[in-house]
């Protein structure tokens, strides 16, 4: 009997920890959305924060109901901006070289003696197959 009592106490604690962590995630999402929203006046942001401090559960529920759609749109917009910035960085870092650029680089390696004529022919065929 004692084992099952302790077992259900542990399950109960895990449930409450899960609920608390979920609440914190919602709270931080709301606060992040408040500061991300450019249309909302600073005073309204302060009022939302004050209500989140003093009446947290009710305010979070009201915020999610009243501003949930805009919250999702702002989150998607930020995700698109981050993806675009990542894509730009990858393109800049990797460099989008054309087949002629790759052949010219291979020709430079051939002229310097770093690669053989067979390797140059292989690199040239590889570059032309990408086009």
Residues 69 and 6 both lie in one domain:
yes
Burial degree of 48 (CB within 10 A; 0-12, 13-18, 19+): buried
Residues 117 and 69 both lie in one domain:
no
Residues 115 and 65 both lie in one domain:
no
The total number of structural domains that make up the chain: 2
Residues 117 and 90 both lie in one domain:
no
pLDDT at residue number 6: 86
User: What is the average pLDDT across 102-123?
Assistant: 89
pTM: 0.59
Residues 87 and 101 both lie in one domain:
no
Residues 53 and 79 both lie in one domain:
yes
Spatial separation of the C-alpha atoms in residues 61 and 65, rounded to whole Å: 6
Residues 47 and 57 both lie in one domain:
yes
Residues 12 and 56 both lie in one domain:
yes
Residues 73 and 11 both lie in one domain:
yes
pLDDT tens digits, 62-110: 999 999 898 999 889 999 999 999 988 887 777 656 788 888 888 889 8
Mention every residue, 6+ apart, whose C-beta is less than 8 A from residue 92: none
Residues 104 and 131 both lie in one domain:
yes
Residues of the domain holding 117: 97-131
| CA-wise closest residue to 109 among 122, 97, 96 | 122
Residues 91 and 107 both lie in one domain:
no
């Amino acid at each position: 009997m004692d084992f099952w009592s302790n077992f259900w106490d542990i399950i109960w604690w895990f449930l409450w920890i899960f609920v608390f962590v979920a609440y914190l995630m919602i709270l931080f999402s709301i606060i992040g959305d408040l500061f991300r929203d450019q249309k909302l006046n600073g005073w309204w942001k302060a009022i939302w924060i004050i209500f989140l401090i003093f009446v947290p559960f009710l305010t979070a529920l009201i915020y999610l109901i009243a501003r949930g759609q805009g919250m999702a749109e702002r989150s998607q917009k930020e995700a698109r901006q981050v993806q675009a910035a990542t894509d730009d960085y990858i393109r800049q870092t990797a460099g989008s070289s054309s087949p002629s650029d790759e052949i010219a680089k291979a020709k430079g390696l051939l002229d310097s003696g770093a690669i053989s004529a067979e390797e140059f022919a292989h690199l040239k065929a590889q570059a032309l197959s990408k086009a």
